[in-house]
């Protein structure tokens, strides 16, 4: 229906309708003038149709909204895929977090099995977005922001940023240079996830691996082998082979080769990057939480006491077990560290071990072995995103007393993985309980302007959510950083059900489909690896 026709129809109806004229002297009280319903108001036709007993046309509302948009000069709305959901089940799936629907891979996420009260609650007040937030959202969705390493010279203070002094005075409030360093190392882990999931069964070196910082070059692939094997009765005909194989690609070693970047950072950095849990056997190893001696099982007639360093059995198994065709993770890492130290002998070096979830646990074992077996090792820093506890109090003391290892744990409030394991089975002594090690940078999903405050455990443990929160964190009790520039496209695609509705709707209006798979090629071009981090 055109605007002219709508107006003409309304005028005709007004002529034939009886009109009552009140005398001017009837009352001194002024009456409000009668206003005709606008032909562009969808409720006007609905009211007249209800009064006459006729049913309004099915497309009346959409027609009037289109007329209104045409009058106001608004651009057409982005059409939806197939209209409104036709059933209650479809409506619930619309609100479900996207990463929950990615199949068995994300079902292996330990945090997903932990219930959280109020996970599905809807708070209308928290869905509101301010005009400033909407403008910021449009900027973040218009293009991916480059996530390059910090361009300011950090050479004079690299040791402090690398953990010398335990990051005192740099975490709360968060130092801007440290923030950019953490984001770069976090994207290194995203690159590890992408490299694994692009071809999980491949044994070739660095196949599909693209680093977000081109000043680094990968030098060796790393594999982790489980001591467990999948029983025949547990295998399913359609299960991918990589989900049940014992040895899997878990990360890589890279070294900074750009002399310009070396001069800017004040040293040549060696990065050891480890992804989180991704296979059935890795998940099974996570559940083997009994403490065992760090140096191996106690010999005959010897019993390890609480003063001996102990770590989780499953983590040690993945670190020390060799496969049929690959070395153990321990052997590969130590061989490559020694080779690179010999190659760059005489230079200022640093070793940064970074991991997410299971990778954060294995990073502590790597750091301990370097500090123990390499006397002339350079400073070692561990950056753990959502890592669990690894060992007992004696293991924590061993790392502290080495004087070579600095540990920074980044923890999202409510991330259940950072709280496990608790107390080792049948070991009630306080010294035999699991303990965390190192400094802590605590962030919170509730501080994000676009994440719902009742996000589930899967979102709280997701690596991209971690990087999003780090990019916006300024200090405890302070609002989200107003000039945060990290693109939220991947966050929308991976955590759509945990993003506020207004952000999802605005993203669609700006041409971003949150239901579409993450555009790996586009994000990689800007130094971002768009890949789900299932654990």
Alpha-carbon separation of residue 87 from 90, 93, 182 (angstroms)? 5, 10, 44
Active site residue 20: no
Beta carbons within 10 angstroms of residue 477's beta carbon = 7
Assign 210 to helix, strand or coil.
coil
Question: Helix/strand/coil (H, E, C) string of 215-270?
Answer: CEEEEEEEEEECCCCCCHHHCCCCCCHHHCCCEEEEEEEEEECCHHHHHHHCCEEE
3 state SS of 387: coil
* Euclidean distance between CA atoms 190 and 192, whole angstroms: 5
Q: What is residue 143's predicted lDDT score, i.e. its pLDDT?
A: 46
Given pLDDT bands bounded at 50, 70 and 90, which one contains residue 344? very high
* DSSP 8-state symbol, 202: -
Q: Are 495 and 97 in contact (CB under 8 A)?
A: yes
Q: Which of 144, 213, 415, 454 is catalytic?
A: 415
Q: Please tell me the least confidently modeled range out of 76-90, 234-248, 359-373.
A: 76-90
Mean pLDDT over residues 260-287, rounded? 95
HEC letters along 467-480: HHHHHHCCCCCCCC
| Most confident stretch, 87-91, 132-136, 147-151, 332-336 | 332-336
Residue 175 has pLDDT above 80, yes or no: yes
Check residue 95 and give its pLDDT: 38
Around Cβ 41, how many Cβ atoms within 10 Å? Answer: 12
Query: Pick from 408, 409, 410, 520: which is nearest to 471 by CA?
Result: 410
pLDDT, one tens digit per residue, over 310-326 is 999 999 999 999 998 89
**Cis peptide bond N-terminal to 173, omega within 30:** yes
DSSP lists the bridge partners of residue 291 as: 312
Q: What is the pLDDT of residue 303?
A: 63
Choose among 318, 392, 331, 393: nearest CA to 360: 318
* pLDDT for the residue 62: 56
The average pLDDT across 369-398 equals 95
472 has a pLDDT exceeding 50: yes
User: For residue 422, what pLDDT band results from cuts at 50, 70 and 90?
Assistant: low
Pairing of strands 439-443, 405-412: parallel
Q: Which fold has domain 157-443?
A: Rossmann fold (3.40.50)
Going from the C-alpha of 280 to that of each of 231, 247, 424, the distances in angstroms are: 12, 11, 22
- pLDDT value at position 223? 94
Give the pLDDT confidence score for residue 204 in this predicted structure: 53
Which residue in 111, 247, 350, 357 is the catalytic one? Answer: 357
**What pLDDT digit, counting tens, does each position of 444-470 carry?**
999 998 898 888 888 899 999 999 999
DSSP code at position 451: B
Most confident range, picked from 117-126, 332-341, 494-503, 516-525: 332-341
Q: Is 415 a known active-site residue? A: yes
Q: Per-residue confidence at 411, pLDDT binned at 50, 70, 90? A: very high
Given pLDDT bands bounded at 50, 70 and 90, which one contains residue 206? low
State how far the Cα of 270 lies from the Cα of 256, in Å rounded to an integer.
Answer: 7
The token pair at 262 is: 């070396």
> Rounded mean pLDDT of 162-171?
96
Q: 469 near 153, Cβ under 8 Å? A: no
Q: Would you state the pLDDT for residue 332? A: 96
Name the catalytic one among 461, 487, 533, 535: 461
DSSP H or E stretch at residue 439: strand 439-443
CA angle 496/502/507 to nearest 5° reads 65
pLDDT category, 406, cuts 50, 70, 90?
very high
């Amino acid at each position: 229906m055109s605007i002219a026709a709508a107006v003409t129809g309304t005028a005709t109806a007004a002529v034939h309708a009886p009109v009552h004229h009140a005398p001017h002297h009837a009352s001194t009280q002024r009456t409000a003038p009668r206003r005709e319903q606008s032909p562009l108001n969808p409720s006007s036709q609905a009211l007249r149709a209800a009064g006459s007993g006729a049913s309004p046309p099915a497309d009346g509302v959409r027609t009037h909204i289109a007329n209104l948009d045409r009058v106001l000069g608004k651009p057409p709305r982005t059409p939806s895929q197939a209209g409104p959901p036709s059933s209650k089940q479809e409506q619930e799936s619309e609100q479900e977090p996207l990463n929950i629907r990615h199949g068995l891979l994300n079902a292996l996420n330990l945090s997903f099995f932990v219930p959280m009260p109020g996970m599905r609650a809807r708070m209308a007040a928290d869905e509101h977005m301010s005009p400033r937030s909407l403008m910021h959202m449009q900027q973040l969705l218009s293009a991916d922001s480059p996530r390059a390493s910090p361009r300011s010279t950090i050479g004079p203070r690299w040791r402090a940023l690398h953990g010398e002094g335990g990051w005192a005075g740099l975490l709360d409030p968060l130092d801007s240079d440290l923030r950019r360093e953490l984001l770069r190392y976090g994207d290194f882990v995203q690159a590890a996830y992408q490299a694994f999931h692009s071809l999980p069964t491949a044994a070739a070196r660095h196949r599909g691996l693209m680093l977000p910082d081109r000043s680094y070059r990968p030098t060796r692939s790393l594999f982790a082998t489980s001591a467990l094997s999948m029983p025949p009765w547990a295998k399913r005909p359609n299960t991918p082979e990589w989900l049940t194989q014992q040895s899997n690609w878990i990360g890589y070693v890279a070294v900074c080769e750009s002399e310009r970047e070396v001069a800017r950072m004040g040293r040549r950095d060696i990065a050891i990057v480890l992804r989180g849990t991704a296979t059935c056997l890795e998940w099974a190893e996570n559940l083997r939480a009994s403490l065992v001696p760090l140096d191996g099982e106690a010999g005959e007639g010897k019993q390890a006491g609480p003063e001996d360093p102990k770590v989780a059995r499953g983590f040690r198994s993945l670190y020390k077990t060799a496969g049929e065709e690959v070395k153990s993770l321990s052997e590969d890492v130590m061989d490559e560290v020694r080779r690179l130290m010999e190659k760059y002998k005489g230079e200022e070096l640093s070793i940064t071990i970074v991991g997410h979830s299971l990778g954060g646990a294995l990073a502590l074992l790597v750091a301990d072995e370097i500090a123990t077996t390499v006397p002339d090792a350079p400073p070692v820093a561990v950056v753990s995103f959502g890592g669990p506890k690894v060992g007992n109090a004696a293991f924590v003391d061993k790392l502290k007393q080495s004087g070579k290892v600095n540990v920074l744990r980044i923890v999202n409030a409510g991330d259940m993985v950072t709280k496990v394991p608790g107390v080792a089975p049948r070991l009630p002594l306080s010294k035999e309980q699991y303990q965390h090690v190192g400094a802590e940078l605590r962030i919170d999903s509730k501080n994000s302007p676009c994440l719902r405050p009742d996000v589930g455990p899967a979102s709280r443990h997701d690596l991209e959510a971690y990087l999003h929160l780090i990019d916006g964190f300024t200090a405890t009790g302070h609002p989200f950083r107003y000039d945060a520039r990290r693109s939220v496209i991947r966050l929308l695609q991976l955590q759509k059900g945990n993003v506020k509705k207004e952000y999802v709707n605005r993203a669609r209006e700006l041409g971003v489909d949150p239901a579409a798979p993450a555009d790996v090629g586009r994000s990689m071009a800007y130094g971002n690896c768009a890949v789900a981090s299932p654990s």
